[in-house]
């Protein structure tokens, strides 16, 4: 760093130490490669430890992608299929219920459900899936449907976002995942997913969910055609909504995986970019309690390192993940509880099992119950 940059960094450090907010320009500055990653990481770790101490959270979860057939054609997506392509599939109710049974037998507390927007399936198909799973396995928390899917259901039915969400909650929906956010700025969004829900739709759906008491997650897909300005702008839009509602539980930066996508000429982001993005996000999103290092897409070693660059959560044991594995992720398809705890301890952090809503999980043999909310500092 030159002298001017050193002075700028000192000002940012003072702000972070005092718990003051960083600006758009501060965030863009922290992305400059000449600002040492270690310094940004150390600042992010300060906030991480202030909020979450030495704990690293994980959960025991499974994924369900009921169909990969999708009307949209996001250029970054390797998972989707056309209606008549051989790789297209639609799961039956029996297959879906079998996944629920398998989840319970394996001690899962959560099922993460997202998929394609099938050309011929009505809202009732998606709604019924939530209902049958919830009726059969009421203890399994259903974290289901991204804002892109909620927007699609509203288009299919003519209902408002809140009406759609209320029906899903009545059927058994527990919370919403953070997917579909990609990059909000239209300069990027128009290039990678021009047809699906835009930034305004995404934000309004999460606002509607928060107003109904539904907790949600938030994400950012980085490492493709966006630049530092687009990333920090995205984080600030999330921070603004969080100021208004407080409904986001965790932010998950999603590293782009190019294999088998319309952007396969791009390289996947480097470990340095992964760690810097985690750290800058931790620093900008001062009002979000948790940062998730999603090991499936970061790779295990980067996810472990990220626990010292702002992250306090490794997501879960995960079974049946398809979206990243279709796009070239080389991580295993599942980690055992022993492995995930060992990986956390290896970093010097203390593993704690949480449920989807960030309550501690207490286990007694094959039985489990959610306990107290995890403590989060300011
Ligand atoms: O919206 C799709 C991303 C998202 C690729 O809320 C890709 O706890 C990288 O949102 N390379 C879906 N990313 C996954 C998601 C998620 C994952 C884990 C936890 C949670 C949570 C949410 O996956 C999509 C898109 O942003 N995605 N294709 C790809 N080739
Ligand atoms: Fe469809 Fe989602 Fe893939 Fe976009 S990211 S093409 S909406 S499955």
- Taking each helix axis from N to C end, the angle separating 3-17 and 37-52, rounded to the nearest 10 degrees, works out to 0
Is the beta carbon of 196 within 6 A of some atom in ligand 2? yes
Is the domain 3-59+143-366 a CATH 3.20.20.70 member?
yes
Q: Report whether pLDDT(231) > 90.
A: yes
Question: Ligand 1 pocket check: which of 141, 215, 219 to mutate, most ligand atoms within 8 Å of Cβ?
Answer: 219
The predicted model scores a pTM of 0.97
- Ligand 1 atom having least distance to the Cα of 326: 30
CA of 307 to the centre of ligand 1 (A): 20
As a dihedral over the C-alpha atoms of residue 277, residue 279, residue 283, residue 285, rounded to 10 degrees, the angle is 50
User: For the residues 294-303, what does the mean pLDDT come to?
Assistant: 93
The pLDDT tens digits of the residues spanning 178-229 come to 999 999 999 999 999 999 999 999 999 999 999 999 999 999 999 999 999 9
Name the average pLDDT for the chain.
95
253 exposed, middle or buried (CB, 10 Å; 0-12, 13-18, 19+)? Answer: buried
- CA dist 252 and 293 (Å) reads 7
For the chain, the structural domain boundaries read: 3-59+143-366
User: Any long-range contacts for 128-134 (C-beta under 8 Å, 24+ apart)?
Assistant: 128/93, 128/171, 129/66, 129/93, 129/96, 130/168, 130/171, 130/172, 130/173, 131/171, 131/172, 132/93, 132/96, 132/97, 133/96, 133/97, 133/100, 133/172, 134/171, 134/172, 134/173
Q: Closest residue (by CA) to atom 2 of ligand 2?
A: 116
The pLDDT tens digits of the residues spanning 64-121 come to 999 999 999 999 999 999 999 999 999 999 999 999 999 999 899 999 999 999 999 9
Q: Closest residue (by CA) to atom 4 of ligand 2?
A: 74
């Amino acid at each position: 760093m030159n002298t001017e940059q050193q002075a700028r960094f000192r000002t940012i450090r003072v702000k972070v130490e005092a718990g003051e907010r960083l600006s758009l320009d501060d965030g863009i500055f922290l992305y400059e490669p000449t600002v040492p990653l270690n310094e940004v990481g150390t600042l992010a770790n300060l906030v991480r430890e202030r909020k979450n101490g030495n704990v690293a959270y994980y959960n025991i979860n499974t994924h369900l992608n009921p169909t990969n057939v999708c009307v949209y054609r996001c250029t970054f997506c390797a998972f989707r299929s056309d209606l008549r392509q051989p790789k297209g599939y639609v799961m039956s109710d029996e297959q879906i219920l079998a996944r629920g049974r398998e989840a319970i037998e394996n001690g899962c507390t959560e099922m993460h459900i997202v998929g394609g927007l099938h050309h011929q399936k009505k809202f009732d198909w998606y709604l019924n899936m939530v209902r049958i799973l919830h009726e059969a396995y009421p203890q399994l928390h259903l974290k289901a449907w991204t804002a892109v899917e909620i927007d699609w259901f509203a288009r299919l039915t003519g209902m408002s976002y809140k009406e759609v969400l209320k029906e899903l909650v009545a059927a058994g929906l527990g919370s919403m995942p953070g997917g579909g956010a990609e990059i909000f700025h239209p300069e990027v969004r128009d290039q990678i997913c021009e047809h699906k829900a835009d930034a305004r739709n995404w934000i309004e759906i999460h606002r509607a969910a928060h107003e109904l008491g539904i907790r949600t997650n938030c994400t950012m897909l980085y490492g493709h055609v966006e630049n530092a300005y687009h990333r920090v702008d995205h984080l600030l839009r999330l921070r603004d909504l969080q100021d208004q509602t407080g409904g986001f539980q965790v932010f998950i930066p999603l590293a782009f995986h190019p294999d088998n996508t319309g952007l396969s000429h791009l390289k996947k982001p480097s470990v340095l970019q992964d760690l810097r993005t985690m750290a800058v996000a931790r620093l900008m999103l001062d009002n979000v309690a948790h940062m998730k290092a999603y090991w499936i897409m970061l790779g295990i070693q980067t996810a472990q390192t990220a626990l010292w660059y702002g992250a306090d959560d490794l997501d879960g044991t995960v079974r049946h993940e398809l979206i990243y594995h279709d796009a070239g992720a080389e991580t295993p398809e599942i980690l055992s509880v022993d492995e995930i705890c060992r990986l956390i301890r290896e970093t010097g952090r203390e593993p704690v099992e949480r449920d989807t809503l960030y309550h501690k999980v207490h286990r007694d043999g094959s039985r489990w119950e959610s306990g107290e909310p995890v403590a989060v500092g300011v």
